[in-house]
Amino acid sequence: MPPKISGIIQALEPSATMAMAAKARELKAAGKTVYDLSVGEPDFTTPAHICQAAVEAMQAGHTHYTVASGIPELKKAVVEQYKAAHGLEYAPAQVVVANGAKHALHNVFTVLLDPGDEVIIPAPYWVSYAELVRLSSGTPVIVETPQENNFKLTPQALRAALTPNTRVLLLCSPSNPTGGMYSREELGALADVALERDLTVMADEIYDRLVYGENVFASFPTVRPGLQERTVVINGVSKTYAMTGWRIGWSLSPQNLAKAMADLQSQETSNPCSVSQYAAVAALTGPQQCVAEMLAEFAKRREFVRKRLAAIPGVSFPEISGAFYAFVNIKQHLGRAYGGTQVDNSTQWCLELLAQKNVATVMGSAFGAEGYARLSFAAGMATLEAALDRIEEFVTKS
Ligand SMILES: Cc1ncc(COP(=O)(O)O)c(C=O)c1O
């Protein structure tokens, strides 16, 4: 008999984005050309000065354990960046550096939640939130938001979801998967409910610097006085600096939570990779021109994707204000056959698109929104052009 897997892990849904990316890789390994719009990973290489800082860190002997919650230089750089960008004052002790923002989120849920504690998650949501809450013994409470409101949570919908067990409100702005972003006013209205009902807010701000056009990003703790004491901000270098593989993210939180997370991390993972931490210091404190250049390229791709999608009959998508995703409503293209195969839901649609046209996307159901598909435009322009030709052909000629 193979060893028994624990109940909590048996109930775990593996990440659908990772699964689609793995399928795309399998096809590539079998010699197929795959147009991969599945994964939220910038296609740029990490800027050279950041890589150089990592080399220098290794040469200087920074190849040992560090303080479990992160090196002081990185905490200082994070604090200074939040001060400069948003005018927020944090002490370095409020920063806990983790192995990516995903790990930072898991840390926060672990130290915050007891069994039965509810976390409000507006849907569509990033694939990992609900699973991380469950892994931390909490209960995700999914609140649907309509496409007509650009998939944003309203104070009314938030109030309707509150119970005596509600502990946490989770907000992701700019959003993965929708590309939507809350205005300062919209966040303020949600903050009023959080203050009134004594909620802790987790603000996932990992896409804060990937914002397009006239849109202005507002960091959640800045929208009302008194929020900083009840907010955990999540951020990291993965998306802004094309550093997904380095695995550095962090939380900015009230001191008692930061202390609890540092203790947890000291038992669980020790420190995040020492060399990556030095690279992250270079990312935050070095020249920022690379961020502007990547943003300009994402902006071009966003324009291209919007134009191409707008020309495909029977699909719609909300305004893309930030991040690098289009969340496409494909409901009019379900309930029919594609190349002889009946397709009734977003999973079947994405799998057939991959099988018949070699284009990888992610099914809306993975984000709690059936009838949609997420396209990442973190892929290069040639890939996007070929993928959109094929998507158009798939829905109009199948
Ligand atoms: C909304 C959101 N939060 C967190 C993460 C995790 O980022 P990291 O690679 O730093 O773990 C992602 C990555 O896809 C994301 O989209």
What pLDDT sits at residue 291?
A: 97
Cα of 101 vs centre of ligand 1, distance in Å, is 5
258-305 pLDDT tens trace: 999 999 999 999 999 999 999 999 999 999 999 999 999 999 999 999
Range name among 2-11, 307-316, 377-386 with the lowest pLDDT average = 2-11
- CATH, residue 308: 3.90.1150.10
> Is residue 1 situated within a structural domain?
no
Does residue 187 lie in a domain region? yes
- Residues 192, 247, single domain; the answer is yes
- Distance CA(314)–CA(332), nearest Å, equals 6
Phi, psi of 35 (to 5 degrees): -100, 100
- Per-residue pLDDT averaged across 133-162, rounded? 97
Average pLDDT over all residues of the chain: 96
The sign of the CA dihedral 130, 175, 154, 334 is negative
Q: Give CA–CA dist 328/353, Å, rounded.
A: 14
Question: Do residues 344 and 254 both lie within one domain?
Answer: no
* Domain contains 2: no
Asked if residue 320 and residue 243 are part of one domain, the reply reads: no
Spatial distance between the Cα atoms of 147 and 316, rounded to a whole number of angstroms: 9
Tell me the helix, strand and coil percentages in the chain, rounded to 5: 45, 15, 40
Of all atoms in ligand 1, which is nearest to the CA of residue 126?
Answer: 1
Kind plus residue range of the DSSP H or E element containing 144: strand 139-144
Residue 71 CA to ligand 1 center (angstroms) comes to 21
**pLDDT higher at 49 or 40:** 49
Q: Which two tokens stand for residue 218?
A: 């507002």
pLDDT average, residue stretch 104-126: 98
Q: Domain span at residue 213?
A: 48-285
106, 194, 122, 12 alpha-carbon torsion, rounded to 10°: 30
Flag the least confident range among 12-26, 172-186, 339-353. 12-26
DSSP state of 109: H
Distance CA 390, CA 398 (A): 11
Least confident of 8-17, 39-48, 319-328: 8-17
Domain boundary among 285, 320, 354: 285
Q: Are residues 296 and 263 in the same domain?
A: no
Question: pLDDT tens, 341-365?
Answer: 999 999 999 999 999 999 999 999 9
Share of the chain above pLDDT 70, in %: 100
Tokens 């949609």 appear where? 372
Q: From 236, 263, 285, give the residue that closes a domain.
A: 285
In a domain, 387, yes or no: yes
Number of domains making up the chain: 2
pLDDT score, position 12 = 87
Would you state the pLDDT for residue 18?
A: 79
**Does residue 338 belong to any structural domain of this protein?**
yes
- C-alpha to C-alpha distance for 329 and 333, rounded to whole angstroms: 9
Q: Three-class SS of residue 70?
A: coil
Find the CATH number of the domain harbouring 279: 3.40.640.10
pLDDT digits (tens, 9 = 90+) for 192-243: 999 999 999 999 999 999 999 999 999 999 999 999 999 999 999 999 999 9
| Same structural domain, 259 and 295 | no
Distance of CA 361 to the CA centre of its chain: 16
CA distances from 172 to 70, 135, 201, 361, 379 (A): 24, 20, 11, 21, 22
> Based on the domain organization, do 74 and 131 belong to the same domain?
yes
Closest ligand 1 atom to the C-alpha of 40?
A: 14
pLDDT band, residue 22 (cuts 50/70/90): confident
- In this prediction, residue 149 has a pLDDT band, given cuts at 50, 70 and 90, of very high
Average pLDDT of span 251-256: 98
What is the pLDDT averaged over residues 104-129? Answer: 97
Going by CA atoms, what residue is nearest to atom 13 of ligand 1?
A: 40
Q: Is the domain of 252 the same as that of 110? A: yes
Statement to judge: residues 106 and 33 lie in one domain = no
End-to-end Cα, the chain, rounded Å: 47
Q: Are residues 378 and 326 in the same domain?
A: yes
Residues 161 and 19 in one domain: no
Identify the CA nearest to 353 among candidates 307, 386, 310: 386
The average pLDDT across 54-75 equals: 98
What is the rounded average pLDDT of the residues 308-331?
97
Tell me the CA–centroid distance for residue 238 and ligand 1, in Å: 7
Higher pLDDT, 10 or 100: 100
Same domain, 272 and 308: no
Domain endpoint, select from 228, 253, 285? 285
Question: Is residue 101 assigned to a domain?
Answer: yes
Please count the other Cβ atoms lying within 10 Å of the Cβ belonging to residue 128.
19
The verdict on 198 and 223 lying in the same domain is: yes
Q: What DSSP state is assigned to residue 5? A: P
What's the confidence (pLDDT) of residue 13?
Answer: 81
In the reported structure, the alpha carbon of residue 395 is separated from the centroid of ligand 1 by a whole-number distance in angstroms of 30
pLDDT band at residue 385 using 50, 70 and 90 as cut-offs: very high
Tell me: pLDDT of 23 over 90: no
The pTM assigned to this predicted structure is: 0.96
Ligand 1 pocket member 244 (CB < 6 A)? yes
